[in-house]
Amino acid sequence: MTETNECDHYDSRILAELQQDARITMAELGRRVHLSQPAVTERVRKLELSGVIKGYRAEVDLARLGYGIRAIIRVARAEYARVVRLIEQTPEVINAYNVTGDDSWVLEIAVIDVSHLDAVVTKFCILTETSTCIVLNAPRENAMVLPARRENIKPAIKKVTGK
């Protein structure tokens, strides 16, 4: 299994378009990337099979669905299986990351209001220490990702490349 599954320029264009709008037709996608409909369909099929495209999801507005508060909970080290089980039993958890460092877990949750937030935080407090902060706004969310290309990395201006 190659890491960067030889994504050529067409595949990058296709991934960009589908990350912007996953519901465009294959015919329209073909027009945008300048390929015939069967050709893009085949490429998309391969991207799906190789696992580059994991799926297609509708993106919903949490506030409009009644979730007034988004929060980040950092959870200190605790028995791994217990945390995972608790996450599984907590639908309010949108994203759950097991991370390095003292805070073993970073959870992103959506709750209705403060009392709901209290209820969810308490569930994790029972396990171990937690630290909660509320999301005020999100200038970037689920940004588009293109195939990694080393030459795109802009180094910070810390080149102390003496010698």
Partner DNA sequence: CATGAAAGTAACTCTCG
Partner DNA sequence: CGAGAGTTACTTTCATG
Cα 10 to Cα 69: distance, rounded to the nearest angstrom: 40
φ and ψ of 121, to 5 deg: -60, -40
Does residue 18 interact with a second copy by CB under 8 A?
A: yes
Listed ranges 39-47, 60-68, 100-108, 128-136: which one lies at the site for DNA (CB under 7 A): 39-47
Does residue 160 interact with a second copy by CB under 8 A?
A: no
Q: List binders of a second copy among 32-61 (CB under 8 A).
A: 50-61
Angle at the Cα of 37 from the Cα atoms of 33 and 39, rounded to 5 degrees: 80
Does residue 4 interact with DNA by CB under 7 A?
A: no
DSSP 127: T
Does residue 136 interact with a second copy by CB under 8 A?
A: yes
Does residue 96 interact with DNA by CB under 7 A?
A: no
Cα 135 to Cα 17: distance, rounded to the nearest angstrom: 29
Considering only 4, 22, 38, 82, the residue that binds DNA (CB under 7 A) is 38
CB closer to DNA, 47 vs 71:
47
DSSP 152: G
